[in-house]
Amino acid sequence: MAPTNPMSLQPLPLGEGSDRLHALGQDAAFARLRGDDTGQGASFLDTLKSSIAQVNEAQLQADAAISGIITGEQSDVAGTMIAVQKANLSFQLMTQVRNKIVEAYEKVMRMPV
């Protein structure tokens, strides 16, 4: 029995899952998403990884600023609050982008073949 929700954690039958993975591995469009394409420009996956790394860096900077305030090494409360808000906004944006990607994936999975 195939799961009704493509994002569910129910296991797929072994043959069906491996067939899907094999088909994805052969797909040229999927190769571009993985970054295997030798064409110009960054792949979608590279752009996504870069964006996630930037969000992570903002979170680490905010954590460092908070630690500096707590330990007394830093007295710039306004700068710390700006760093925290910047990290918060970037995380919220990343969450919304993730939601849009999942929504688009679900729409594609609902398309009749």
Express each pLDDT in 1-23 by its tens digit. Answer: 444 444 444 444 555 555 665 66
Which amino acid is it at 36? Answer: D
Tell me the angle at which helices 77-110 and 44-71 cross, rounded to the nearest 10 degrees.
150
C-alpha 48/C-alpha 66 separation (Å) is 27
C-alpha 35/C-alpha 47 separation (Å) is 10
C-alpha 58/C-alpha 4 separation (Å) is 37
C-alpha 113/C-alpha 19 separation (Å) is 16
- What's the mean pLDDT in 83-92? 95
pTM of the predicted protein model: 0.58
| Structural tokens at position 42 | 């960054």
Torsion of CA 32, 34, 37, 43, to 10 degrees: 70
Residue 84: per-residue pLDDT: 95
Residue 59: per-residue pLDDT: 95
| Structural tokens at position 8 | 């569910």
